[in-house]
Amino acid sequence: MPPPFPIVGVGASAGGLQAFAELIRRLPANPGFAILFVLHTKKHESHLVEVLVRSTKMPVVFAADGMTIERDHIYVSQPGTEVAVIDGKLRVEKKNVALPIDLLFGTLAEDQCARAIAVVLSGSASDGALGTKAVKAEGGITFAQDDSAQFSSMPRAAIAAGAIDFVMSPREIARELVRIARHAYIVEPSRGRLDDEQLGEVYGVLKIAHDVDFTHYKPSTIERRIRRRMALHRIDQLNDYIRLLRDDTAEVEHLYGDLLIRVTGFFRDPEVFKALRDDVLPVLMQDRVDDSPIRVWVPGCATGEEVYSLAISLLEVVHDRGWSCPIQIFGSDISDAAIDAARAGFYPDNISADVSSERLRRFFMRSDGGYRVSKSVRDCCVFARQNLTKDPPFSRLDLISCRNVMIYLGSALQRKVMAIFHYALRPKGYLLLGSSETIGNFADLFSVADRKHKIYQKKSGLARMPVEFEAPPPRMREENTRASEESNHPGNVYREADRVLLSRFSPPGVLVNDAMEILQFRGRTSSYLEPAPGTATFNVLKMAREGLLSELRAALLTARKRENPVRRENIQIKSNGNTRHVNVEVIPFLAPSRDRYFVILFEDAIVPEEPPQKKSRGERGDEEPRQVARLKRELESTREYLQSIIEEQEAMNEELRSANEEIQSSNEELQSTNEELDTAKEELQSSNEELTTLNEELENRASELVEANNDLTNLLASIDIPIVMLDSALHIRRFIPARSACSI
C-alpha cells in the first residue's frame, strides 16, 4: 500500500550537489515528505551522505533494496545503481543505467500518482525530461531549477518537454515543496467528487476556447487534473478556480494541456511492435492490390512517437523483405501543441534509451543536442488536429493504433469510437489497443487476433456508423468596441490637443501593418516616400526613395524579429535630384487585437559642415573611406535582408507542409463523409425498392380480396338457404330470403 505522504524525487548531475544541498538546507526538520536523490555520476565511491548530512537535520541514508520509504527521510542513490519505487519500497539494483533519473521518476509516478513530485536540478544532457512528463501525466507536480543552475541542460530539456509546473531557485523550490505537501490535493487525493454543476461550468469554458466537450470523458481523470491545477494556484474551492478560468485565458490553455497530456515514447511495449512486425504488417503487405498504399491511423498521437515508430517498423519490413509498397500514416490529436511538436519531429537525446543505435543511425539525424526524424520517415506521416469523437474519420485503413486513449473516455464515447473504428477499417483490417483496454461488448464488430498484445481484426457485417459529423463553428471576429468609440468621439479635447502637438513637434512618419501596408501618414513624408510607378500601392517598401529601401527593409525585419525599436542613422538618399542624409526609427507595437503594427519615423540627419578649402591630393583619399563604409553598411543590410528572406522561406515551407497535411486530412475526412452518404443513399434506395415491392404485394392482396368477396357474394346469392344476420347480442338484424323460400 502506498505511503500516505508525498515522495519527492530529485535528479541532478554536474553542479547539482550544491543545488540539492541548498534545497535541503532550507527545509524544516519535519517537512512532511520523503526525498529520493539521484545524482547522475560515474564515480564508483560516494561520500554523498557525509556531505549532505551537514546541510539538514533530517536522516540521510544510502538507498538499499527493499527499504521502506519513511516520512522526513532523505535517501541517496549510490553510483552504479538504479533506484525505483514499487509499493512504497525502494528497489535498488547494481546496474549502470543510461537514464537513472527517468527511471526513478517513471516508477515514482506509477507508484504514487498524485503524491509524486519530481525536481530537476543542475545537470548536463537531458535525463529527467521523460520522467517529469510521466509524473505530470499521473497527476504529480514537477519543478526545474531556474537560471541559478550551474549547468542548465537538464532543466532546459525538462522545460522544453512541456512537463514543468514551477521554474525556481533551490531556495524557492524548498518553500513551495513544504506548502504543496500540506495542500488538500496531496493530503487527500481521493476525497469526494467535485460538484457536477461546477464541473459543467469548467467544461463550458473549455468548450468555448477549444470546441472540445469533456462532458463524457471519465470524470475521475478530469477531476484529478482540475484539483492539480488548483493546488498549483493555492486554491482550495472550485468556485475560486472557475473565477480564475474566466479571467485568465492562459490558465484555460494550461488546464486544456494538462487534460490532454499522455505518456508516450518510441517503441513503447517492444513486444507489441515485435508482434506487429512478425504477424500483422507482413499480412498487410501481401494483401496489396494495384500497389495501393498501406494506410495506418494513430488517433491521439500526442507528440508523434507512436506514429514514427510505426513508420520505422513498416520501412524495416519493406526493406527486409524487398517489397515495394507506399506507406501513409495519419496521426491526429486535439492538442495543437502536440501536433506542432509531432510535425517538427525533433526529440531529446534520451530517446536513445528506447531507440537502438542502428535505428538512430538509419532513421534519425543528429541536430542541436537531440535527434530529428529523417526525411524518409517524415514523408510517410501526415499530422492533423482532429477530434476523434466528433470529426469525420480517415477511411479505407489497414491498421488503427489507438493505445491508452479509450481509458479516458466514458462508456458512451467508447461505443461511438468503436463504431467509428469499425467503419474506418478495410475488411480484415486490424485494431491495436493499449494494455489496459479491450473491445468490451463489441465482439460483434471485432475478433481477437492476438489476445496478449490486444490486437483485434475487423469482422465484416452490417454495423454502420451513424452520420453525426458536425461542422466547425464559425469563428467570431473580435472587436474592441470601446476603443473604437473612443477613437471616433468628436468631443475629445485632450486627444485633439495631442494631435496638434504631435503634428508640430513630432518627426514625420507612417503607420504600417505587418504586411508593410501604410495605414496612416503622419506629417509631411514626401521627402522620404513617393508613389511607385505602375499599379497604385501603399506598400512602404515600394514607396521608399532611392537609397532608403535596403536600410528601411533591414530595420523593419530586425524590429519584427527582436520586437524592439530599431534605429538607423545617416542614411544617404536621393530626393528631387539632391542627396540628403536621414535617420530612420522603426517602433513595433501590438494592438488590443494582438495584431502587430509599426511606426516608422523619419528625420534629417545632422551632418557636420566641412570648412571650404582648396582641393588637395588627400581629398580623394578622405572620400574613399566614407564611401567604403557606406558600401559596407549597405552590404550588411543586404545580407540581413537575404537571411531574413531565407528564414521566411523556410517558415513558409513549413507552413505549406502543415497546410498540405491539413488539406490531406480534410480530403480524407470528406471522402469518408462522402462514402458514408453514398452508403446511406444506397440504403435509402434499397428501402424504397422494398417499400415499392411491398406496396405492389399489398395491392395484389387487395385485388385478390375484392375478387374473393365478389365470389363469396355470388356464392351466397346462388344458395337456397335463408341467411340470417345477427348482431353481437344475437338479435336478428337482417333477413335474406333465398330464391326458393316460397317452396318451403
CB 84 within 8 Å of CB 107: yes
Q: Could you tell me the mean pLDDT of each successive run of 10 residues in the chain, 744 residues long? A: 81 87 90 90 68 87 90 88 90 83 91 90 86 88 91 88 89 91 79 76 87 82 86 86 88 87 85 90 76 88 92 89 83 89 87 88 86 90 88 87 86 86 88 86 84 88 51 40 44 58 74 89 85 85 85 85 85 79 89 83 74 51 69 75 75 78 76 77 83 87 87 77 54 52 40
In this predicted structure, what is the pLDDT of residue 310?
Answer: 94
Task: Please give the pLDDT value at position 108.
Answer: 93
Q: In terms of domains, do 45 and 110 share one?
A: yes
Spell out the residues 6+ positions from residue 294 whose beta carbon is closer than 8 angstroms to its own.
284, 285, 288, 314, 325, 326, 327, 328, 398, 399
Give the chain's domain count: 5
Same domain, 423 and 563: no
Short-list 112, 156, 101, CA closest to 137: 112
Please tell me the predicted confidence (pLDDT) of residue 475.
38
Please say which residue of 603, 636, 669 terminates a domain. Answer: 603
Distances in whole angstroms, Cα of residue 373 to Cα of each of 241, 356, 434, 436: 40, 14, 25, 29
Please check whether residues 171 and 234 belong to one and the same domain.
no
Please indicate, yes or no, whether residues 130 and 106 belong to a single structural domain of this protein: yes
Judge whether 670 lies within some domain: no
User: What count of Cα atoms within 13 Å lies in the side-chain half-sphere of residue 318?
Assistant: 17
Cβ atoms of residues 513 and 599 within 8 Å: no
- Given 135, 163, 187, which residue is the final one in a domain? 187
Q: Say if 252 falls within a structural domain.
A: yes
Q: Note the pLDDT tens digit of each residue in 261-278.
A: 777 889 988 999 999 998
Q: Answer yes or no: is 652 within a domain.
A: no
- Residue 513: count of CB within 10 angstroms of its CB: 15
| Last residue within a domain, chosen from 219, 242, 260 | 260
| Sequence-ordered strand ranges (E) for 451-539 | 455-458, 509-513, 518-522
- Together in a domain, 71 and 32: yes
Mean pLDDT over each residue of the chain, to the nearest integer = 81
| Same domain membership, residue 256 and residue 283 | no
Q: Residue 167: what pLDDT?
A: 92
User: What is the pLDDT, as a whole number, of residue 7?
Assistant: 92
Residues 228 and 316 in one domain: no
Grid coordinates belonging to 268: 513503447
Host domain of residue 222:
196-260
Cα(6)–Cα(182) distance, integer angstroms: 10
Per-residue model confidence (pLDDT) at position 480: 42
Main-chain dihedrals φ then ψ at residue 27, nearest 5 degrees:
-90, 150
Model confidence, pTM: 0.65
Residue 98 shares a structural domain with residue 212:
no
pLDDT at position 476 = 34
pLDDT in tens, 529-584: 888 888 888 888 888 888 888 788 888 888 888 888 888 888 888 777 778 888 89
In this prediction, residue 527 carries a pLDDT of: 84
* pLDDT the model gives residue 231: 87
For residue 62, the domain's CATH number is 3.40.50.180
**Rounded to whole angstroms, how far apart are CA atoms 339 and 386?**
10
State residue 373's pLDDT score: 92
Same domain, 415 and 304: yes
Q: How far from the centroid of its chain's Cα atoms is residue 510's Cα?
A: 39
CATH of the domain at 552: 3.30.450.20
Q: Tell me the HSE value of 194 on the side-chain side, using a 13 A CA sphere.
A: 26
